Amino acid sequence: MSSGMKKVMLLQVLCIMLAYTAAGQECSGQCSCPSNPPQCSPGVSLVLDGCGCCRVCSKQMGELCTEKDICDPHKGLYCDFGAPNNRRIGVCTAQEGATCVFGGMVYKSGETFQSSCKYQCTCLDGAVGCVPLCSMDIRLPSPDCPMPRRVKVPGKCCEEWECDSPYTHSFMGSVLPAYREEETYGPDPSLMRENCLVQTTEWSACSKTCGLGISTRVTNDNRECRLEKQTRLCMVRPCESQLEQSIKKGKKCIRTPRLSKPMKFEISGCTTTKSYRPKFCGVCLDGRCCTPHRTTTLPMEFKCPDGQVMKKNMMFIKSCACHFNCPGENDIFESMYYKKMMGDMA
């Protein structure tokens, strides 16, 4: 058999396999979802499939897609089926948007890349967003490891935790230096329980300067005295809020404005069941940036289009501080520049 005939037969087999795959990806009208949603890779959105049934990991740039397996909508991707009569298998393509320049390289809108072994980034209409690939967990001191610290391991990209000898330093003197990015409120002798020294870090800065982001902290304030990472939603200010127009004549800043009308928060298509009139951090005309100073944490309910109700904790701002310690544009380490938030133990 000639090589040309072999290629034709191979193409025919591939077409048949794709057709069977596509048939399996069509909506059947009946939903059968796993009990637990899948764990998506860093930077990959967990979305409702095209049939409106199950939560799935969205397809990324250049991957095959179907009407059921949809492309990542948060990155401006859509499924390009090519010919109008072909509605079975397509390729995830980016919608038209501005390119990004990062590290001397030009990336298309919707394109994902690694800026280093520690970060995976995505270009979206001229803006670059990055997520860490290394674990960001924080280890608190404990009797068996009073001086935890991160160390560089030869041949590995991410640092790992190591316990120093407990006999070289006193326990109380080793607590605060153990933390790099988040400080602690303790240890407080009044919080000493049976075989447990309760410790809680401050909430980290919000992951976004505008729009909905995430703030985290670590605590062992539970029955098992077990370290756990807690998260809460946060919004320093709405995007495109044009707060500059609210600055009074003769003033340089508007520090903590409050919305004139109630609003509902939205995350991944789900909206809060109640309306709120929150305070936000304002802006300055002299180069200063305003960040949260005092906050509180309250529970909120979100209702999704499929009827599912989820509960999330949300940061509410009490007051903001304006200062010159501001990050640069497109700085993936911007949250490290912001002052830590005070007065929130909720």
pLDDT tens-digit series, residues 272-284: 999 999 999 988 8
Q: What is the CATH number of the domain that holds 206?
A: 2.10.90
Range of the domain at 233: 196-323
pLDDT at site 5: 54
Query: Is 22 a residue whose pLDDT tops 80?
Result: no
Please compute the mean of the pLDDT values over residues 234-248 and round it to a whole number: 83
Residue 276 covered by a domain = yes
Residue 88 covered by a domain = yes
Residues 105, 85 within the same domain = no
Among the listed residues 225, 11, 254, 43, the one whose alpha carbon sits nearest the alpha carbon of residue 131:
43
pLDDT band at 221 (very low <50, low <70, confident <90, very high): confident
Residues 216, 308 within the same domain = yes
Query: Is 53 a residue whose pLDDT tops 90?
Result: no
Residue 68 covered by a domain = yes
Number of domains comprising the chain: 3
Please compute the mean of the pLDDT values over residues 299-312 and round it to a whole number: 88
pLDDT at site 100: 83
Residue 145 covered by a domain = no
Name the percent of the chain in helix, strand, coil, to the closest 5. Answer: 10, 35, 55
Q: What is the DSSP letter of 192?
A: E
Residue 200 covered by a domain = yes
Percent of the chain with pLDDT over 70: 73
pLDDT band at 232 (very low <50, low <70, confident <90, very high): very high
Residue 330 covered by a domain = no
Q: What is the CATH number of the domain that holds 63?
A: 4.10.40
The helix/strand count (H/E) of the chain reads as 1, 22
pLDDT at site 300: 92
pLDDT at site 272: 92
Considering only 52-56, 122-126, 160-164, which range has the smallest mean pLDDT?
122-126
Secondary structure of residue 247 in the 3-state scheme: coil
Secondary structure of residue 73 in the 3-state scheme: helix
Query: Is 156 a residue whose pLDDT tops 80?
Result: yes
Among the listed residues 204, 234, 239, 210, the one whose alpha carbon sits nearest the alpha carbon of residue 335:
204
Please give the residue that has the higher pLDDT: either 111 or 278.
278
Considering only 79-93, 198-212, 287-301, which range has the smallest mean pLDDT?
79-93
